[in-house]
Amino acid sequence: MDKFSYLSNAEVGYIDQLYRSYQQNPHSVEESWRNFFEGFEFSQADYDAENGTLVANGSPKTTFANGSAVGIDEDMLKKEISVKKLIDGYRLRGHLQAKTNPVRPRRDRKARLALADFGLSEADLDTSFRAGNEIGLGKATLRQIIDHLKKIYEGAIGFEFMGIRDPDIRYWFRKKVETEYPAFQLSTQEKERILRKLNESTIFENFLHTKFIGQKRFSLEGGESTIPALDEIITTAAEQGVEEVVIGMAHRGRLNVLANIMQKTYEHIFTEFEGYVSEESLGLGDGDVKYHMGFSSLVETPKGKKVHLKLAPNPSHLEAVNPVVQGFVRAKIDHNYSRNPKRALPILIHGDAALAGQGIVYEIAQMSELPAYQVGGTIHFVINNQVGFTTDFDEARSSNYCTDISQLTEAPEIHVNGDDPEAVVFAVRLATEFRQQFGKDVYIDLVCYRKHGHNESDEPKFTQPLLYNLISKHPNTRQIYINRLKNENAAMAELADKMEKEFKAMLQDRLDDVRQKALPYKYQDLEQDWKALRRATPADFETSPDTSISAEMIEKVGTALTTLPEGFKPLRQIEKLLSERKERFFETKKLAWPDAELLAYGSLLLEGSPVRMSGQDVRRGTFSHRHAVLVDAEKNQQYNSLNALSTGNLPTFEIYNSLLSEYGVLGFEFGYSMANPNALVIWEAQFGDFANGAQVMIDQFISSTESKWNRMNGVTLLLPHGYEGQGPEHSSARLERFLQLSAEYNMVVANLTSAANLFHLLRRQVKWEFRKPCVVMSPKSFLRREEFYSDMTEFTQGKFEEIYGDTYAEAKKVKRVLVCSGKVYYDLDKKRQEDGRKDVAILRLEQLHPFPKKRFYEELAKYKKNVEVVWVQEEPENMGGWEFFLRMLYKEWEGSKLKVISRKASASPATGYYKVHNKEQETIVNTAFAETI
């Protein structure tokens, strides 16, 4: 049953048909109607105690679904059905009338819950109806039923759950709402905990307002219930087996969460406010502003449970952190928690405008229940300001609620008034129990307000005068709760007075002395592994470590890659592919690009390093080259060849075809790699230029993770690249963008020309004593070309080659040195050999960044001092590697000595006409060997 159920406008004729269906087969109707008809039939019959049967008490006779006969009062049946419809109407639309807005009246959303909407009138109010059984009242008057429904559905919480189609899940949620919520009572200790957390939240904002006048802090004022809410989520989750909570959030309230949830010391936070930074920290990078940084702590709940807390760093791209958090949690679930998602919990804290407006939210919603990206459900907590920067909500979304993305995955929405912290506690407790029970997402919409503008120096009345007139007169949540406690009873009043005094004393203490003792922290296994690594030095990039493997290991991996389980019948084309792969591994002993790639993965698995890969169609490969997972042609069963290696405690090869997403999926893999330093984590774009869709992740996280966030990360991007006449959308992976982001040894950017070099590069990602992101411009047509093949000896000995010197030209005759990167080398070499040009040397730059300057000069030194050096690229002059190459050498060379051969500068990466492409490519190659350039 969805939100557009027939229940709101069902006709009596339809109900009659429904009842007849029930009589024929009770299980043919929806569960709540089945329960209704059972109750109604029972109410219309007398019970014969002697015979133990139902006996009809009226006429005409009607047969029960259980075979008994009964007379039905048709008028009463119609009324009962109307009351049943009214009850379901409240379940479906009662949230539209819930009192969830703390500062202004709610708009009329046409809930249609008046008596007349259900064919009822005031004359029916004192009539008793069996439909009261539906909501736990038993037989009750319509007045009692409506009062009870209003208490549940029109109070401080608006519940949306009727869109859940699974009847068991919907029933569980409904029983929680209709049974536990009306009876919900907090103990004195729990109320004290709420007030204490509200006090802490308020203290913190008061302190910052007093100490750092005019500074941006993105305060939580107006949404203070966030702190007791998060406290309750962590407490409830810990009771239900959660050992680690990872939080992602943007700016608003972040400092308050750091202080009062993560328990980062005031002194630490205030030092960052003052702008002080240690010499040691300066050596680790540029850092970021205080309300972007992450933190880890180990806290103890009121019931004595220890929980690891992590707040992920997040840039100003608001929701960008979402997939990063989920990837991080997935890595922990896989490697720390025996693949049990109930032991780790992601919480994403959103702003209302960002949740409704950012496309990444849709991507992670679609990812949430896919096998590659499941994390056992995420708690989405919305700090609903009712305004985004300066924009009112009716200009910020088309949906009723900012949380309506939940309908995509049938996740419940719980809207709650931020000025009722006890209702907030019930809401988050219910949400946490739901996540732990069903492993699905859940959305909590904390309807509150933002006391100040977008930041503390902004004037919100410029655009929202009416709203901010209301806010300026509105008491804060803490004071509202104190007044409520004082009105409850003498004991609560005494408690409130006591904590008021404690609050003032604590505030003064913080003003006088900010020194606190930091919480003790115990590092987890994966964190210990990170600590065992070191920071890279410039010397590390002068030569690569040995990444060769034994012939025995090659044989073991080759066997796994070419052996099928008994009875497995692949397509005929796959049989041919496996035969050719077997020939390369065991006869010719020359491996192609996909062989080398899979050999790298298999060897790492045998050495105990996990390998995870995702992307569009990666199991077979976009160009049908990888075939890491085979499919039985008759049974459609899948077989992951490399997992034949995973015996004992060895890890498995995790390779997943992703949804059609770049931004979300790359963010997830970055988060996964952030958690586990031992894993080789790879994202492959279907075509390299598809990385455009993930540019936020590349700019804000991957390229700057070490500098901004002080975190190493080894995520690897495979981006198909190369000019082959496939048009502007499928030629360029935008090499120039990655090179523009390259500095300070922040990441590896490579454009490879041999299978063995790919093998060594992939293994180097894990074998280094540090971690760096890596971007590989991988080939398309050359995946199967023999020019890319590598002899077996290149795998059993050697390492990654940052640059390949020339082996064809005669050094003494060389007048010109062509420097290039990627597949254009083979076009140049083919032309050179056809013309017999021994006077032109070609250097292949395999790793552009970090630029192998020492190796470059060693190769160049083999030739005359006045040799002509020319950079050759397929890309237009304003793209590709030319400007980076020039930047690497311009301080040491006069600009006139460096020349470039390329396509002309262009707004588009490539032509869409194949004949034009061929002509351009021919011009590049011919110009490279012309007498003068």
Q: Which two tokens stand for residue 760?
A: 């060594």
DSSP assignment, residue 429? Answer: H
List b or e across 712-736, with b for residues whose CB sees 16 or more CB atoms inside 10 angstroms.
bbbbbbbbbbbbbbbeeebbbbbbb
* SS3 labels along 318-352: HHHHHHHHHHHHHHHHHHCCCCCHHHEEEEEEEEH
| pLDDT of amino acid 516 | 72
Q: Which two tokens stand for residue 17?
A: 């048909």
* C-beta of residue 837 within 8 angstroms of C-beta of residue 829: no
Q: What span, in angstroms and rounded, lies between the C-alpha atoms of 120 and 80? A: 10
Q: What span, in angstroms and rounded, lies between the C-alpha atoms of 355 and 350? A: 6
Tell me the H-state helices in 160-225.
167-175, 188-211
* C-beta of residue 650 within 8 angstroms of C-beta of residue 608: yes
Q: Report CA 354 to chain centroid distance, whole Å.
A: 15
Residue 45 has φ and ψ, to the nearest 5°, of: -120, 155
| pLDDT of amino acid 178 | 96
In sequence order, the β-bridge partners of residue 849 are 749
Helix (H) or strand (E) holding 716: strand 716-720
* C-beta of residue 634 within 8 angstroms of C-beta of residue 593: no
636: Cβ contacts below 8 Å, ≥ 6 apart: none
For the chain, state the CA radius of gyration: 33
Per-residue CA distances from 821 to 721, 757, 844, 885 (Å):
11, 13, 5, 11
23: Cβ contacts below 8 Å, ≥ 6 apart: 63, 64, 65
Q: What span, in angstroms and rounded, lies between the C-alpha atoms of 515 and 509? A: 10
Q: With CA atoms as reference, report the closest residue to 615 among 654, 666, 652.
A: 666
398: Cβ contacts below 8 Å, ≥ 6 apart: none
Q: What span, in angstroms and rounded, lies between the C-alpha atoms of 854 and 868? A: 19
Q: Which two tokens stand for residue 30?
A: 């929806």
* C-beta of residue 275 within 8 angstroms of C-beta of residue 212: no
The amino acid at residue 509 is: D
- Tokens 């007044």 correspond to 483
In sequence order, the β-bridge partners of residue 128 are 141
Residue 578: HSE in the Cβ half-sphere, 13 Å Cα cutoff: 19
> How many other C-beta atoms lie within 10 A of the C-beta of residue 893?
12
The amino acid at residue 153 is: Y
681: Cβ contacts below 8 Å, ≥ 6 apart: 612, 613, 669, 672, 673, 714, 715, 716
Q: Which two tokens stand for residue 123?
A: 């004359």
The amino acid at residue 440 is: K
| pLDDT of amino acid 1 | 36
Question: Averaged in consecutive runs of 10 residues, what is the pLDDT profile of the chain (933 residues)?
Answer: 38 67 82 71 46 39 43 75 94 96 91 94 94 91 97 97 94 96 94 92 78 67 93 97 94 87 82 55 44 77 94 84 97 96 97 92 97 98 86 83 95 97 98 98 94 66 77 88 89 82 75 73 89 94 96 97 94 93 96 97 97 96 93 93 91 96 97 96 94 95 90 96 89 95 96 97 97 96 88 96 96 95 95 95 97 95 92 95 93 76 91 88 88 84
Q: Which two tokens stand for residue 809?
A: 């030209």
Q: What span, in angstroms and rounded, lies between the C-alpha atoms of 436 and 336? A: 18
Q: Which two tokens stand for residue 66?
A: 């259980």
Coil, strand or helix: which one is 803?
strand
The amino acid at residue 665 is: V
| pLDDT of amino acid 28 | 83
Tell me the H-state helices in 163-317.
167-175, 188-211, 226-239, 254-260, 266-274, 279-282
Residue 624 has φ and ψ, to the nearest 5°, of: 55, 45
Q: What span, in angstroms and rounded, lies between the C-alpha atoms of 437 and 617? A: 33
Q: What span, in angstroms and rounded, lies between the C-alpha atoms of 650 and 640? A: 15
* SS3 labels along 560-597: HHHCCCCCCCCCHHHHHHHHHHHHHHHHHCEECHHHHH
| pLDDT of amino acid 504 | 75
Q: What span, in angstroms and rounded, lies between the C-alpha atoms of 442 and 439? A: 9
Residue 915: HSE in the Cβ half-sphere, 13 Å Cα cutoff: 0
Q: What span, in angstroms and rounded, lies between the C-alpha atoms of 359 and 318? A: 11
Q: Which two tokens stand for residue 71?
A: 């007379």
Q: Which two tokens stand for residue 596?
A: 């080398």
Q: Which two tokens stand for residue 160?
A: 């949306």
Q: What span, in angstroms and rounded, lies between the C-alpha atoms of 746 and 587? A: 41
| pLDDT of amino acid 34 | 78
Q: What span, in angstroms and rounded, lies between the C-alpha atoms of 427 and 444? A: 7
Query: 787 burial class (0-12, 13-18, 19+ CB within 10 angstroms)?
Result: middle
Q: Strands 653-657, 387-388: parallel, antiparallel or unpaired by DSSP?
A: unpaired
